[in-house]
Every structure is written in C-alpha cells, then in structure tokens.
A and B are shown apart, each in its own frame.
Chain A
Amino acid sequence: MSTSDVEQRLKENATVSSVADTLSENKSAALVLPGFLLWAAFMVLPMFYLAALSLTNADQSNLFRGDGMLLGILPIGEANFVGLENYADLLFTTEALNQGLLDAFMSNPVGIFEYAFWNSMLVTWLFVIVSVAGKVLLGVGLSMVLTGNRVRGKRFLRGILIMPMGIPVIFSITVWRFVFSDARFGMLNDILLRAGLINEAIPWLQERWLAFGSYVVTEMWLAYPFMMLITVSALQNVNGDLLDAAKVDGANWFHRFWHVILPSIKRPVMFGTILTSAASFQQFLVPWIFNEGGPGTDPGQNALILVYAYREAFRNPSDYALGGAISITALIFIGAFMYVAVKRGNLAEEAGES
C-alpha cells in the first residue's frame, strides 16, 4: 500500500465521520425545521411555481384543464412552455422584437422599451424614494418631539400615535380614499373650500401627480408608527452623559443632534429604512383601492409594479403567465435592492448576526 493510498483512506474516513458529526451537532435544527418548512411551503414553493408559470402561456382558459406537466412535476394543464417570451414581451415593444432588438436599438434606443412596464417600474421607484424620505423624516421628527424632556404626557401621546399600526390597512386606506375624494364633500376638499384656499373641488385622484401625492401621504401615514417605534427605542439607548457633556461644552441643539444623537440612532434607523423601503416597493392596496392604478389607459399611469401584475393576472383576460413574469421581475429587483442595501450598509449584525 503506497502512502497516497493511506492518505486517500484517511481522507475518506474523515469525510464519513464529519458527516455523522455534522448531523449529531445539528440535531437541534429539528426544532426550527417545522416552522421553516411551513413557511417555505407557502412562500418559497409558490415562488418557484410562479417562476415556472412565467415561462409558459398559462391563462384562465388553459391552466386548469388537462394534466400537462412541466419537467414532469409542475402541473401546467394545457398551457405550453414558451421560454422567455413573456419577459421579452414585457420588457420590449412588439415592433422592436419583430425588427430585431439590436437593429431597433440602433435606430431608436428609447423606443424599444415597452411603455407599460417601464413606466410602472419607474413610478414604483419614485414612490419608494419619495415615500421613504417622507416616512423617515416624519418618524424621526415625531420621535424627537415625543421623547423631548419638556413634553408632558409623552408616553400617552406615543400610545395614541402608535394606534394606526393596529388598524386593519383595508380600513385606513378606504378612509384615506374618502379624504382624497374628488367630490365636493371629500374631507380635504371640504376643509380647503371652507378655509377659502380653493374655489372649486380638486379632483385628487383624477390627475396623475395629485394621485401620486395622495399615495405618498397615505403610505407615510400607514408606516410612520413603525419608523417612530424603531427611532424611539434607539433614542432610549442614546448615552445621556455624552449629551450632558456636549451641553456643558456649549453645543447647541442642532450640534447635539448632529454629533451625538444622530450617530447613535443611525444604524437602527437605517435598518428600519431598508425594511420600510421594501414595504413601499410592494405597496399594492393604496393604489388599488384609490383608483386601481391611477388615471389613464390600462394599466394606469400610477400602476405600481404589483398593481400592474395583479391587473394582468386577474383582470380579463386573465394572463397568469404575464402577471407571473411581472411578479418575478419585481421580486428580482427588490431582492437585489435588499441584498445591496444590507451589504453596503453593513447592517447584518442589526439582525442578530454579530
């Protein structure tokens, strides 16, 4: 037996025993597995199935008929595998695809992009940027006010202000729809008319950017309790001695905020901001309940990405495959955003991964 054989044997033995070791060391994973599997069954599995559907021409008429299988396991009924066709249709115009993408790009670089999808994508990101900026400013501002030394009854006020978190979103969104109602007696119109600031009712939800503004205000109202909670708990960890020292050294309020308070609440607030950005990106009910994606032709000028997907999938004709392609594209975008934000912000340990 040569030396190399011995080494080989030793290596094999080592692998075998390390597998056994790994198994026995990780027995406690069994505690976590049921929950993880339950979650995966209803979240991860549908995601794969959706990805598969987006590669077919599944719609209401063919998916639930017949017993065709994709790759032998995924039921797709009478629908056929069409490859990336849905994604091509989604991203580029039909003319450009017929002409050949490269040729079309040479003659008219902007013209090759399908308006409905890219409009929806850009509006969604604009909504994320504007509403998240608003949410963070409102949340941090409120918590600064409501932890102020000289504010009486701040615990009570914080209790009141957190209550929107408990209100079912469908209820608060419906209420906000009536606040922004186009009619003479919509709440906002009524107040503005009585105050004499305007002469006739403003059609809040009929005009593109007014409707967009109303989405942003509503989203800010829905999410400020979350930002406020995170900031308040971060503010409670601010070093009081440091603040006193700064005060003694003659730093004014702004300097104290900038040099002492902000550095110590930055990380939790950043973490909350990333989470709440993801929530904004996936906002569906606000545009849907307000005006089903805004004024304009299908899918609406303000159709945020999930509204667009929902309309394609569940409005006649029900095109599950195209809706699926939109959803998967949206998931890729938000996944990439979360990944980059968390890596760049170096926020992993906020989640408990120290």
Chain B
Amino acid sequence: MSAGQVAQRIYSDIRRIVVAPYKAVREIQYTINGLREGKIPPKFVAWTIVSTTAAMLIAALLMFPIYWILITALDPSASSIYTAGGVEIIPDSVSIKNFIWVIGPITTPEAINVSLPFVGELFSIPVPDAIGNRYIINPGAFGVEESRQSGRFIAYAKNSMYVAFWTALIGMSVIIPGAYGMSRRDFVGRKRLLYVYVLLTQVAGGLGIALLIALYTIFNMMGWLDPGANTRFWLAVYYAGGAVPFNTWLLKTYMDGIPVSYEEAAIVDGAPSWRLVYEVIIPLSKAGLATVFVFVFLAGWTEYIVAQTLLDAADYTLPVGLYALIGEYSVDWPKFAAFALSFATPLMLVYFFMQRYIEAGLSFGGMEG
C-alpha cells in the first residue's frame, strides 16, 4: 500500500462520514417500507434501534468531558470555572474569541530575513510600509484583551516542533533498520529482545518518571541543562530512545506482512542487499512507516513530565506550556480550554482516521515470531 492509497482511504473515510446522514435516511425509508410490507420482522428493527441507541448513549457519556471543554472554549464571557454559570449542554452564545487569544496577534513582517542553519543570517529584504507590519489577525478587533500569555501558543509550538522533529529523525533512523533486522534476519537473542520490547510498550512512560531523578542528574552533569546548552535537542534524543521498543516492534509486525518472495525475486536478479531494502522493503512498507512516524513524532510532541523537569521557561513545549497556563500563570479556564483544544484536535483527528490501522496493528493473536 502506497502513501497515495493511504490518502485515498482517508478521503473515502471522510466521504463516508459526509454521506452517512443521507444513507441513514435511505436505510430508515427502506426499513419502514419493509415493515409495512412485512418483509422485515419488527423484533429485528426494535433490536437495531435499541442497541444503536445504547451504543450512542455510551459514546456520548464517555465523550462528555471533551464536549464540555469545547463548550467552555467557545464561551465568550471569559470567566473562570468558579464564577461561570455551571455546565450548559447547549451554550447561549458562541464566539471564537478564546481561540484568537490563543493565537495572539499576527502581523505581516517588517523585513524578510533569509538565514541558514549553522551559517546565520544571509540577507534581509525590507517589506514596503504599505503592507509591512500590518495585522493579519488583530486580537483587539475580536475584543480580546492583551496579556503576556496571549500568543504563547506559537512559541510553544515552535519548541515542540523542534523537539518532535529531532525525535522523529533520530528515532526513525534507528527504528527502520532495527525493524528490518527483527523481521528478516535471525541472530542470537532476537526473540528475547523482541519480547522485552513488547513488554516495554506500556511501561516506557512510567519508567521515564521512575528514572527521572537519574535523568535529571545525568543531564545536569553532562552540562545539558546549563544556560546556552541545547537542552531541547538532548530531550529529543531521550524521547527517540524511549520510542524505540514499541515502534520497532510495530514496524516489524508490519514488515512481516510483506511476502518474502519479492525479496527472493530481487536476490535472484542479483540485487545487492542495500538495494533490497531501498527498492523493495521501504516502498512496500510506506503505510507502516507513516504510522510509526506519527507515533515517534507524537512521543516528542506530547510528553509532559520529563520536559517539565528539564526545560527552562523559554524552551517550554506545548504540554508544559499548557499546564503552566493554569499552574504558573493562573489563566482563565475558557482560555485554557481553547489552548488545549488547539493542541489536541489535530491529534484526535489523527487517531480517528487511523482507527482501522491501529486495530490491525494491535492484533496480538495473529502474530508470528
């Protein structure tokens, strides 16, 4: 399955959701006709209605906290939870004010600077006054009062992006060969190591906290916490290391599904082993690679406790910044809600659309060694 096919699947998923109400109406009409003509037994229909309603009620109950946060974020009366009018199932008025506060003011640049990593700024083009330094988003126009925390989202997101980028780059560069070796080669201790990896999938996060003391002292002694040291980079290296067990195992199970005959054919044609990997394995496991990439990236994007212990305020990533909003800066609850949703919504959508791949990936039953 190629990346194009993945995109196509997602497209068809979205289409199915969009046309779902239409199909539901059609099905209801069909059922009513069937009932009238006596083709469908009433008991059958009653059971469908009862079980579907029950399933929907359970889902609604479980998702209620998230819905509540959404309602809070859309609440225009920027107040704290303690003075608000309590829980409202359907809000009286809705505004995107809090989301504007999260993004903060965005202006066109006064000058465009072009710079290279490690080299520094190359040159800078001034932007004409007519279009330079003008508001693209002006919070004042939405009635948002300025505060120091307004617009921090962007800065935190940049830090998170930096950490997640290095996590993904370092992580993938050791996970891909590891998964290939686990899937296609044999060596002493392979099964044992695989077994350890699987057991660690759920333990890694907690292990991080148990080892926090040692991590903190090691980071401190290596000088990675000194002012001017690149703490974010070393944090990313740590995340990449923590992401190895689960993702190596996941990618290995995916590669197990690729028939060995493709490789055999390539070997018969005289392809060297690097071409085997480059031209057979990688193209055939694109979907698996994409899934693993998402997981490794998110490992750096969402971790809280280690980042909170190691990072300075200027380097805060999104999760740390999020909790600092209510912890250190005691920001209003609706603003917190808007901030948190801006952070979480893309991730929730990723999981929503990946549901079937994750279900397939986690089927422990049908696995081979």
Contact = CB atoms under 8 A, between A and B. Distances in A.
Contacts of B358: 162, 229
B365 interface: yes
Contact of B302 (A32, A169, A233, A271): A169
Interface stretch (A92-100, A277-285, A295-303): A277-285
Interface string A31-46: 1101110111111011
B294 to A, nearest CB: 10
A137 interface: no
B12 interface: no
B182 interface: yes
A324 B215 CA distance: 11
Interface residues of B, number: 112
Given A31-B180, A167-B347, A185 B369 contact: no
Interface in A1-53: 22, 25-32, 34-36, 38-43, 45-47, 49-50, 53
A183 B80 CA distance: 12
A289 B52 CA distance: 36
B203 A170 contact: no
A181 B51 CA distance: 34
Interface string A56-81: 00100001100000000001000000
Contact of A156 (B20, B83, B333): B20
A28 B202 contact: no
Nearest to B84: A185
Max count, chain B CB within 10 A of own CB: residue among A36, A38, A159: A38
Contacts of B188: 22, 25-26, 29
Contacts, number: 320
B69 A162 contact: no
A167 B238 CA distance: 22
A290 B187 CA distance: 47
Interface residues of A, number: 114
B175 A168 contact: no
A49 B351 contact: no
Interface stretch (A204-212, A244-252, A307-315): A307-315
A275 interface: yes
Nearest to B256: A352
A156 B52 CA distance: 12
A22 B195 CA distance: 22
A354 B217 contact: no
B55 interface: yes
B292 interface: no
B162 interface: no
Contacts of B182: 32
B114 interface: no
Interface string B105-142: 00000000000000000000000000000000000000
Given A26-B187, A162-B355, A351-B195, A278 B203 contact: yes
B352 interface: yes
Contacts of B203: 275, 278-279, 282, 334, 338
B359 interface: yes
A351 B187 contact: no
Interface string B346-369: 011111110110111011111111
Given A32-B181, A323-B213, A354 B351 contact: no
Nearest to B326: A174
B48 interface: yes
Nearest to B353: A159
Given A22-B188, A49-B217, A354-B368, A279 B51 contact: no
A134 interface: no
A91 interface: no
B80 to A, nearest CB: 9
Contacts of B362: 229-230, 233
A112 interface: no
B130 to A, nearest CB: 42
Given A53-B214, A190-B87, A229-B358, A162 B240 contact: no
B313 interface: no
Interface stretch (A82-90, A113-121, A147-155): A147-155
Given A63-B217, A162-B355, A39 B242 contact: yes
A323 B212 CA distance: 10
27 contacts: A25-B188, A29-B181, A29-B188, A39-B244, A43-B242, A75-B221, A142-B58, A146-B55, A152-B52, A154-B55, A162-B358, A166-B350, A172-B65, A176-B65, A179-B65, A179-B68, A233-B364, A234-B364, A282-B207, A306-B209, A342-B199, A350-B367, A351-B198, A352-B198, A352-B253, A353-B191, A353-B192
Interface of B: 17, 20, 24, 27, 44, 47-48, 51-52, 54-56, 58-59, 62-63, 65-66, 68-69, 81-84, 86-87, 170, 173-175, 177-178, 180-182, 185-195, 198-199, 201-207, 209-215, 217-218, 220-221, 237-238, 240-242, 244-245, 248-249, 252-253, 298, 302, 304-305, 309, 318-319, 322-323, 326, 333, 336, 340, 343-344, 347-353, 355-356, 358-360, 362-369
Pairs A-B, 7 closest by C-beta atoms: A282-B206, A31-B181, A28-B185, A166-B351, A46-B214, A35-B174, A42-B241
